[in-house]
Amino acid sequence: MNPNEITPHLFRTEYSKIVAVLCKTFDIKHIEIAEDIASETFLKASEYWAIHGLPENPTAWLYTVAKNKVKDYFKHLAVIEKNIKTELKTIKSEQEQIIEFDTKNISDSQLEMIFTICNPINSRETQICLALQILCGFSVDEIANAFLSKPETIKKRLQRGKDALRAYHFKIESLQEKDILLRLETVLKTLYLLFNEGYFSRTHPLLIRKDLCLEAIRLTLILIDHSITDTPDTNALLALMCFQSSRLEARINNQGEAILFDEQDESLWDQTLIEKGNYYLVRACDTSNTQVSKYHLEAAIAYWHTSSLSPDKWHAILDLYNQLVIMEYSPITVLNRTFVFSKVYGNKKAIIEAKKLNLTENEYYHGLLGYLYTEINKELAMKHFEEAIRLTSSKSEKQTLQKQINGLKQTM
């Protein structure tokens, strides 16, 4: 395999693990120290692998280099030893500290890291931004997309957040149950955004990024494995991820173009993941005092999408969307609701509903109207698809929309 292909994937999955383990092992208060060591590790990997090829076990190679980088860090910065000792907690000496990259230590370190970063001293938005960057490896542009914000705004937010953590004497530690539960909502939101970027990326050449989806599932499973964080909301989020992931293979063709739900090959849906989704959704609703969250509603919607057709299917999904819009309004939610509305009441009535939204600067708004007009007015449909192409920055979306236009032209 080409090193240029595997390095970005490993960076996405292993960078945050290295940062978390280093921060926990050495009690590093300045996250940047651990980030620099992790970055240097990957820089060496890209240079070395380009010449010598991939090692037999690239992940183990990275962990070994990271350990050596830590030793180099202490050795070459001995001239500022006095300052270093204010940053690092040692047992006997820095060199004698043991760095373990085993599965349990990685999981524990990442779990503790994400809850430590989600500190109420920062705003909830800043907590999520920090977690997405440090734990999930998101770029500034990816975070800006998740928040529908400008990259410069995100850069400033990240810097202020790190400054606040430093002033607070940032430290990875085991939190009390009340602190964990207080921060859990923000952690779940972070994992939700991580999964969404993988499920439908607007900032990457690939429309679907399976590595992000798998990483979100892995981190959510860590929460499920701890009794304090094994909550109904956590199970509902994991159910949603399983249901959505079950259709990944059917959502895109060999050319990287999106396949509309109506045109998907259901034989490609992963029944094992659907069964897991069912299992976690039942667990999410398995207590009499369970409060319905947005994750419950979205998981239920995803459940219906993976179930076979029945007379009540679209009515049930519309009812769920009606509840979701009231709970948490967003342009994507109301547009998805309008699509489902068309399945229940027809495209003409759905067009009226869509136009009430007046989201004229939203590419999905025009993409939806293009879909709704396809069988009613082909010229208007093409006009809306063209406007959606103008508004979107995603190459794969542009390709999919252009395919819709070409198909309409052939029928005129």
Q: Which domains does the chain have, with CATH numbers?
A: 232-308 (no CATH), 329-412 (1.25.40.10)
Q: Residue 265: left (phi > 0), alpha (psi -120 to 50), or beta?
A: beta
Contact 42, 11 (CB under 8 A): yes
| Helix (H/G/I), strand (E/B), else coil: 248 | helix
Please report which residue ranges of 168-231 form alpha helices under DSSP H: 177-199, 210-224
Are 335 and 357 within 8 A, CB to CB? Answer: yes
pLDDT at 174: 66
Per-residue pLDDT tens listing for the chain (412 residues)? 555 555 677 777 788 888 888 887 766 566 778 888 888 898 898 888 888 888 888 889 998 898 888 877 777 655 455 554 555 444 334 444 567 777 777 777 777 888 888 888 888 889 889 888 887 777 888 888 777 788 999 999 998 988 888 777 666 666 678 888 888 999 999 899 888 887 876 655 555 677 788 888 988 998 998 888 999 999 999 999 999 999 888 887 776 667 777 778 888 888 999 999 999 999 999 866 778 999 999 999 999 998 876 778 999 999 999 999 999 899 999 999 999 999 999 999 999 999 999 999 999 999 999 999 999 999 999 999 999 999 988 887 888 889 889 988 888 7
Which pLDDT value is given to residue 243? 95
Contact 74, 92 (CB under 8 A): no
pLDDT at 93: 47
User: Which whole-number Å values give the CA distances from 326 to 24, 199, 329, 330, 392, in the listed order?
Assistant: 41, 24, 6, 10, 27
Label residue 349 exposed, middle or buried (CB < 10 Å: 0-12, 13-18, 19+). Answer: middle
pTM above 0.75, yes or no: yes
Q: How far is CA 14 from CA 45, 103, 139, in A?
A: 12, 12, 15
Query: So what's the pLDDT on residue 388?
Result: 94
Provide the pLDDT for residue 94. Answer: 47
Query: What local confidence, expressed as pLDDT, does residue 254 receive?
Result: 74
Return the structure tokens found at 245: 């992931």
Q: What pairs with residue 252 in β-bridges?
A: 258
Angle at 235 between CA 287 and CA 113, to 5 degrees: 125
Which residue from 377, 372, 316 is spatially nearest to 347, judged by alpha carbons? 372
CA distance 111 to 224: 11
In angstroms, the CA 254 to CA 270 distance is 18
Q: Find the DSSP H helices in 225-327.
A: 232-245, 271-284, 294-306, 313-327
Tens digits of per-residue pLDDT, 210-263? 778 888 898 899 899 888 899 999 999 999 999 999 988 888 777 666 777 777
Res 80: pLDDT: 52
Q: CB atoms < 10 A from the CB of 258, how many?
A: 19
Is the Cβ–Cβ distance between 276 and 231 less than 8 Å?
no
Hunting for tokens 């999106």 — which residue is that? 258
**Nearest Cα to 201, choosing from 32, 394, 19?**
394
Which helix (H) or strand (E) is 350 found in, with range?
A: helix 347-357
Report CA-CA distances (Å) from 106 to 17, 63, 103, 264.
6, 11, 5, 38
Packed helices 271-284 and 232-245: angle between N→C axes, nearest 10 degrees: 160
Please report which helix (H) or strand (E) contains residue 59, including its range.
Answer: helix 58-76
Nearest to 109, CA basis, from 194, 193, 169, 34? 34
Contacts 24+ apart (CB under 8 A), 363-371: 363/387, 363/388, 363/389, 363/391, 363/392, 363/397, 364/331, 364/332, 364/335, 364/388, 365/331, 365/335, 366/391, 367/401, 368/335, 368/338, 368/339, 370/401, 370/404, 371/260, 371/339, 371/404
